[in-house]
Amino acid sequence: MLSPIPAKTSLQSADSPIGLLDSGLGGLSVAREIRRLLPQESLLMVADSAWAPYGDKSPEQIRERCEKISDWLIEQDCKAIVIACNTATAAAASYLRECYSLPIVGMEPAVKPAAAATKNGIVGVMATTGTLASARFAALLGKFASETKVITQPCPGLVELIEAGDIAGSRTLLENLLAPLRTASVDTLVLGCTHYPLIKAQVSDVMGSAVQIIDTGEAVARQLARRLQDGQLASNHSLPQLSLHTSGNQALAQRLAPDWLGEPVEVSRLPPQFKLNHQSATQPE
């Protein structure tokens, strides 16, 4: 376990960027919603694709990695940090809030709105194994879905295919992964990983148009807006900046990111200190 440390701070200027971290390119689905709701805000994204997925790492490893990335974001004078990853939120959000005095906004699977939206009382949740096994997810079910039948579906291998831009492979895997949810007649499906909205069309095609699909990107953007207003950190910048830094394959990220974000973005490599330090994390240059 990492020991609590004195809270770290940034200069927290209103015109400073918002930092966003994710295990890979899935954070683009959240960044897209932030850009839509807060177009005047600068955004500095980190896609830790060399370590994707976080779901097969221990909570201690995830906390250590998220702290390292957050330290770097603060060095870039970020005024808030969005943890655009359900697994990282479950493992590291509480710890990071002890480490830093700036606003930290996390993710959680949209169990509450799904339980409210379902008509037949049967909800499916797609997520990584790490998210589904977390105490945070168990607490969500207990609090918001006690009268709803929730069927969870871990999705091993799906993040890796999305990271590689293999949409055809993702569709083939989805057919197998989502079969139990179709058999169970779920009428509402929660996308419990920020990578999954990037293939929302394929998910909808497999599940059928009658199934409601819910993700949390928009809700996170609204919560971020509230935190910035409360902290008097909202920007009115006329020329907001947008950048993406990756620990993985820069050329691949540069090819995929603009389409998934919905606007041009320049992709850079993270500095040398973010080279791999976990034997199971492999990513081509």
Which pLDDT tens digit goes with each residue over 132-147? 989 889 999 999 999 9
CATH number, span 18-107+218-274:
3.40.50.1860
Q: How far apart are CA 203 and CA 196, in angstroms?
A: 8
Given the residues 66, 99, 155, 193, the one annotated as active site: 193
Q: Is 99 a catalytic residue?
A: no
Determine the distance from the C-alpha atom of residue 238 to the mean position of all C-alpha atoms in its chain, rounded to a whole number. Answer: 27
Q: Which residues pair with 254 in a beta bridge?
A: none
Q: Are strands 212-214 and 266-269 parallel, antiparallel or unpaired?
A: unpaired
Percent with pLDDT over 70 in the chain: 92
Q: How far apart are CA 276 and CA 100, in angstroms?
A: 24
Task: Tell me the three state secondary structure of residue 129.
Answer: helix
Q: How far apart are CA 93 and CA 91, in angstroms?
A: 6
Element holding 72 (H helix, E strand) = helix 59-75
In the chain, ranges of CATH 3.40.50.1860 domains:
18-107+218-274, 111-215
Q: Using one digit for the tens of pLDDT, what is the confidence trace for 100-130?
A: 999 999 999 999 999 999 999 999 999 988 8
Q: How far apart are CA 51 and CA 56, in angstroms?
A: 10
| Top-level class of domain 111-215 | alpha beta
pLDDT for residue 236: 86
Classify the C-alpha dihedral 163-167-168-172 as positive or negative. positive
DSSP 9: -
Of 70, 46, 78, nearest to 244 by C-alpha is 46
Residues 173-180 have a mean pLDDT of: 97
* pLDDT greater than 80 at residue 232: yes
pLDDT for residue 9: 57
Residues 247-268 have a mean pLDDT of: 96
Name residue 204's amino acid: S
pLDDT for residue 269: 95
Q: Is 85 a catalytic residue?
A: yes
Given the residues 66, 85, 99, 155, the one annotated as active site: 85
* pLDDT greater than 50 at residue 281: no
Residues 34-61 have a mean pLDDT of: 94
